[in-house]
Amino acid sequence: MILPAYLESEIMEFCRLSDIPISDGNIPKNRQSEIWDFVKYRMKKDRNDTRAKEWMNSVKISPVISKIIRMVEPLESPIEEYLREGLDSSPLKGKYETQYQIGSKRVDFAFPSKKLVVECDGKDYHYATIEQVEKDQARDSYLARRGWRVLHIEGKAIRTNIGLCIKQISEAL
């Protein structure tokens, strides 16, 4: 993969923030997947940003409409979409941001004014391996060190009782 030059410095900063040691330009094998996830996320984000800018330039879209379009960007999973629909039909509409960047981490939903993160945990991904559980715990610790609280909600709960999930979020706020 050919990386844009600016991404190298961002990877170095990501490693620094994530306490990933770099020795003679080498990253420990057990931490390489974190770097790969970061690079995939940044490349995808850059592609989406470029597409959005090209589209907006081609239709000469107003800044107000541009902001609305950014607010409804696609999420990563159907359970995130379902939770966003639930939040948007509740008093919490407009008080959260999706795919929010906190340091080197990106979270599903953030309520920045209250420093609350809501993560949608699909069973197939978040509980698939002990390694993934440990990775999620390390991520939660990273966010906590930056003053954020993390609320995990299982995908099954989101699909079966969205009202209770919204209530849990409201109480956490």
Reported as a single tens digit per residue, the pLDDT across 4-23 is 666 777 888 888 888 888 88
pLDDT digits (tens, 9 = 90+) for 111-124: 999 999 999 876 65
The model scores a pTM over 0.85 = no
pLDDT for the residue numbered 5: 67
**CA separation for the pair 166, 79 (Å, rounded):** 13
Cα distances from 11 to residues 32, 66, 132, 143, 164, in angstroms, run 11, 29, 21, 18, 39
Q: Considering only 38-47, 67-76, 81-90, 128-137, which range has the smallest mean pLDDT?
A: 67-76
Taking all residues of the chain, what is their mean pLDDT, rounded to a whole number? 81
Residue of 52, 91, 54, 88 whose CA lies nearest to 70: 52
Domains defined along the chain, listed by start: 1-73 (no CATH), 75-173 (3.40.960.10)
Mean pLDDT of all residues in 152-160: 88
Looking at residue 146, its pLDDT comes to: 93
User: Over the stretch 65-110, which tens digit does the pLDDT of each residue have?
Assistant: 555 555 555 556 778 888 888 999 999 988 998 888 898 888 889 9
Give the gyration radius of the chain's Cα atoms: 18
